[in-house]
Every structure is written in C-alpha cells, then in structure tokens.
C-alpha cells in the first residue's frame, strides 16, 4: 500500500518562509506532486518532482529525496492568499493511481 | 479553468435516494479519477478509469459505482444515500505523464 504523512496544520507570518514536509511509504511511484486547495475549491497543481532534487516555480519550490522517502514544499514571501490546504501526492507505477496525503492547513497571519 | 467539467455543482437529496454525478475530462485525457472529501478531511480516492476500463479501486462503498463511457466522460452513481455520504466529490483527469487536473466538484448534501 501507500501512505503519505504530512503535518495537519502550520501557521506562518506574512512575508516569511514556510516548509511543509511529506514522508511516504510506498513502492513504485513516478514522482511526488503538490496540490493547493482553498476552502471549498478544487485542488490545483503546484509542483512535481520526478527526480531527486529541487524544483523551483516562482515563490514555490519542492524537493524530493527518494532514498529518504521524503519531500517538502517550500513557500517563500508568504502572502495572505497562500492560506490554504496543501497536499502531497504520489502516482503509483503501473496503474497511475494518484494517492494524496491528508493535507496540511497553512494559515498565514499578519 | 482546469478543463474538467463536473455537474451538478450542488445536490441536495434525501436519505435512501440515488444520485448520479457527471464528469467530463480534459480533452485528450484518458484517465478519470473520483475522490470524496468530507468536511476538513483529505481526498479519499474512490475509483479510477482509464480509456473505459476500471484501472484502480480505492475505498469505494458497494453502494457506489462508476463507469466511463466511450466519449470518456464518467459518471459516479451513489445509491441508498446516508447522511454520512454528504461530502464534496471531485473528479480529476490526466494522462500518464502529466499532472492531474480537478473539476470544481459536486457538493452533495444528504438530508
């Protein structure tokens, strides 16, 4: 089976940097993805790591280490609109089933 | 706009009833996923179809069923509804080497 663990809640100050970690137990997956979901909205794709290392997309960066079964999402220059839930996800090899972690609720405070 | 269309957006129905949720994937996407999200909960994977065939099954109740049609749209059928089935139901689509795109969801309220 697959399981992904992430913190349930994180609070950070506007303008600061926050890191959301994701540890996983899975075998055979294509890469680690991150999705953002505002309350009541649809999850939207943020970032994908197919290989180990850091991927940067604007204020967001994501990291993957397959040897450590670990990844993280880094959000810089936090803005109030970044308050949302963030989910890590893996796509299982073969079936391409996308499995999500339980999500981290980020609250950005002034 | 993700390109994934879900209808209806809202649905209110009584316990014991049956409803059908519909999803049209992005043009060119062969995979359709269905997820259930209860209040303040994560995305629970229900079922995946790929080009008309069931590809993977998650925690889907026997009262729930789905299918994908030749035009690739998909329907999720929920029957004998219970209060606990009230949730947001999301459909997503992708191709094997791309990220998944989600529809805006159907908010189901069972009263």
A3 neighbourhood in chain B, CB within 8 Å = none
**What is the CA angle B52-B58-B59, rounded to 5?**
130
Q: Name the residue in chain A with its Cα closest to that of B44.
A: A100
Best of B7, B37, B42 to mutate (most A CBs within 10 Å, chain A): B42
- For residue A2, the model assigns a pLDDT of 67
Contact B90 A44 (CB under 8 A): no
Rounded distance between C-alpha atoms, residue A90 and residue A101, angstroms = 9
Give the helix ranges, DSSP H, for A6-89: none
DSSP 8-state code for residue A6: -
3-state SS, one letter per residue, for B1-19: CCCCEEECCEEEECCCCCE
Q: Do A101 and B45 touch (CB under 8 A)?
A: no
Contact B55 A45 (CB under 8 A): no
Q: Scanning every residue of chain A, which has its alpha carbon at the shortest distance from the alpha carbon of B55?
A: A95
Distance CA A99, CA A96 (A): 9
What does each of the 111 residues of chain B score in pLDDT, given as a tens digit? Answer: 889 999 999 999 999 999 999 999 999 999 999 999 998 778 999 999 999 999 999 989 999 999 999 999 999 999 999 999 999 999 999 987 778 999 999 999 999
Per-residue pLDDT of B86-110, as tens digits, reads: 999 999 999 877 789 999 999 999 9
Chain A with chain B: Cβ pairs closer than 8 A: 54
């Amino acid at each position: 089976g697959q399981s992904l663990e992430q913190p349930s809640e994180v609070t950070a100050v506007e303008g600061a940097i926050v890191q959301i970690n994701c540890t996983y137990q899975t075998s055979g997956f294509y890469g680690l993805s991150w999705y953002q979901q505002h309350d009541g909205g649809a999850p939207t794709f943020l970032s994908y790591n197919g290989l180990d290392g850091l991927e940067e997309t604007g204020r967001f960066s994501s990291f993957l280490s397959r040897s450590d079964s670990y990844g993280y999402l880094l959000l810089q220059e936090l803005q109030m609109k970044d308050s949302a839930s963030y989910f890590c996800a893996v796509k299982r090899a073969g079936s391409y089933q996308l499995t999500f972690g339980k999500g981290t609720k980020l609250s950005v405070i002034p | 706009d993700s390109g994934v269309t879900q209808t209806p957006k809202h649905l209110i129905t009584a316990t014991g009833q049956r409803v059908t949720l519909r999803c049209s994937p992005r043009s060119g996407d062969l995979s359709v996923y269905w997820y259930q999200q209860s209040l303040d909960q994560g995305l629970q994977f229900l079922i995946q179809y790929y080009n008309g065939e069931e590809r993977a099954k998650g925690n889907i109740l026997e009262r729930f069923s789905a299918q994908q049609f030749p035009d690739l749209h998909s329907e999720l059928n929920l029957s004998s509804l219970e209060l606990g089935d009230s949730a947001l139901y999301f459909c997503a689509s992708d191709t094997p080497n791309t990220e998944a795109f989600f529809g805006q969801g159907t908010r189901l309220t069972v009263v």
